[in-house]
Amino acid sequence: MKIETTILKNLLQNEDYARKVLPFLNDEYFTENSDKIIYNQINNFILKYNSLPNKEALNIELSEAKITEEDFKESLNLINEIGKDEQEFSDLTWLLDSTEKFCQDKAIYNAVVESISILDNPKSTTDKGAIPDILSDALAVSFDPHVGHDYIDDSSDRFDYYHRVEERIPFDLDYFNRITKGGLPQKTLNICLAGTGVGKSLFMCHVASSCLAQNQNVLYITLEMAEEKIAERIDANLLDISIDDLHSLPKDLYDKKINSLSNTTKGKLIIKEYPTAAANVNHFRALLNELNLKRSFVPDIIFVDYLNICTSSRIKSGSNVNSYTLIKSIAEELRGLAVENKLPIVSATQTTRAGYSSTDVGLEDTSESFGLPATADLMFAIISTEQMEEVGQILVKQLKNRYNDPTSNRKFVVGIDRAKMRLFDVSQAAQDELVDTGQTVDDTPSFDIATGGKFKKQDFSGFDYE
């Protein structure tokens, strides 16, 4: 007996089996016309009457179907075969496993056939870039019995969830760990907002260096700077050498520092450069597969420098779409990539022209698309002024936070060493007048260079405002 006949027979006679597998079956999985016809008759009957049809009901439904005489005779013979009063299979687990394998094999076969037809047909309306998604969807076919969370019956699972320690990648910066409850969780998109030259790439290079030092596998995708420029910044950070001194460092001393670093970390950092506005998540998926095959490298975190100069896999290049739709689409695709691979993705975006000169950047200062903050899990702004540069500090402001209360520690200060491309914690004294504990206060910082960057109130009395 064919597996198709076994499936149809149990759809007709085994209600428990039928209700478990019908959501995952598809008439495209059946090769013979008679198999497809009987499957559709059974499926339609169950959907309409919420019960299994008997042999007589199938015969009546078949007689009313608009099919050829040959298909009618073959389908009638099949009904007689599967409608015989025989003992049902008692091993439901075997039935479910066999049916799942049947569906997976058929889905993959159909996807390969469809992909070949796209490649061979020059007039195909489907873009070749859709082939990875077609194959990926086929490989993802499985019987997932989960159809929702039952509030009462699943209360025990919910309690376990409350006490489960979520896997996170911690920062080496205290206040970033505070606002994220210990680091970046998996399946998230995290966005740094800043003006040109403020420190978006510096932030990502620092966090990438920190992750490598924590024995994490790091993938850094750059569409803005060359691979060597990113590696140079990470060298300055990890080797504790200014970028200027890197170029005069003797080869033997450089090798010694790299060897020392390789002995203290088990992680890997891969930097991949793409041309500006020439790569999307399909390229990134292909890169992940290639790294896995060629280097056995699976990243724990991905950095994309930066989101606005990626392309969308769903919007064709040159299409007449507005920036809101384009950037939101890219953000959604990146977050989808994070979910697929169960890791955090860190990227950045520019401020608007008004936000560039502002000392109190908000979500409204996000350039090109407000759809980006709507998609991101964590979004924060980096703010720098001449006074802050003089004392080696930057201001960080939370804009959106799904991990913690964004009104707690809404603003905080981080030290910055641009020569070594490094961020560091500053003394608590620098935070005292700035950290927002929930009350409404004016926490825009002012700096006194003589006190090493400690904030102090400015006296604006005597100014005449019109």
Model pLDDT, residue 466: 41
Per-residue pLDDT tens over the stretch 137-147: 787 777 766 66
pTM (2 d.p.): 0.67
pLDDT at 43 over 80: yes
- How much is the pLDDT for 424? 92
Residues of the chain with CATH 3.40.50.300: 168-451
Instruction: Kindly tell me if the per-residue pLDDT of 465 is higher than 70.
Output: no
Q: Which amino acid is at 383?
A: I
Look at residue 339 in the predicted model and tell me its pLDDT.
93
Closest CA to 238 of 420, 424, 423, 426: 420
Which amino acid type is present at position 463? F
| Domain range 3-139, CATH class | mainly alpha
- Residue range 225-241: average pLDDT? 93
User: 356 pLDDT exceeds 70?
Assistant: no
* 357 pLDDT above the threshold of 80: no
> Per-residue pLDDT for 454 more than 60?
no
For residue 201, is pLDDT > 70? Answer: yes
Mean pLDDT calculated for residue range 9-26? 86
Q: Residue 456 pLDDT more than 70?
A: no
Positions of CATH 1.10.860 in the chain: 3-139
In whole angstroms, give the CA distance from residue 365 to residue 349.
10
Enumerate long-range contacts of 389-394, CB under 8 Å, 24 or more apart: 390/447, 390/449, 391/447, 391/449, 391/452, 391/453, 392/416, 392/417, 392/453, 393/426, 393/430, 393/447, 393/453, 394/198, 394/199, 394/423
The answer on pLDDT for 377 being more than 70 is yes
Reported as a pLDDT band with limits 50, 70 and 90, residue 371 is confident
Residue 213: partners with Cβ closer than 8 Å, 6 or more residues away: 172, 238, 264, 265, 267
- Structure confidence at residue 461 as a pLDDT band (50, 70, 90): very low
Residue 462 has a pLDDT of: 47
**How much of the chain exceeds pLDDT 90, in percent?**
36
Give residue-wise pLDDT tens across range 320-352.
Answer: 788 888 889 999 999 999 999 999 999 999 887
For residue 341, the model assigns a pLDDT of 93
Higher pLDDT, 184 or 85: 184
Q: What is the DSSP letter of 90?
A: S
Stretch 436-453: mean pLDDT: 45
**Of 437, 442, 445, the residue nearest 388 (C-alpha):** 445
- Residue for token pair 């491309």: 421
Confidence band of 148 (pLDDT split at 50, 70, 90): confident
**pLDDT mean across residues, the chain:** 84
CA distance 265 to 247: 24
- Cβ-proximal residues to 221 (8 Å cutoff; 6+ apart), any chain: 272, 274, 279, 284, 287, 302, 303, 304, 305
Burial (CB count within 10 angstroms: exposed 0-12, middle 13-18, buried 19+), residue 228: exposed
Most confident of 54-68, 105-119, 219-233, 421-435: 219-233
Q: Where are the beta strands (DSSP E) in 33-171?
A: 168-169
3-state class (DSSP) for residue 280: coil
17 pLDDT above the threshold of 60:
yes
Rg (CA), the chain: 30
What integer pLDDT is reported at residue 435 of this predicted model?
Answer: 54
Q: What is the CATH number of domain 168-451?
A: 3.40.50.300
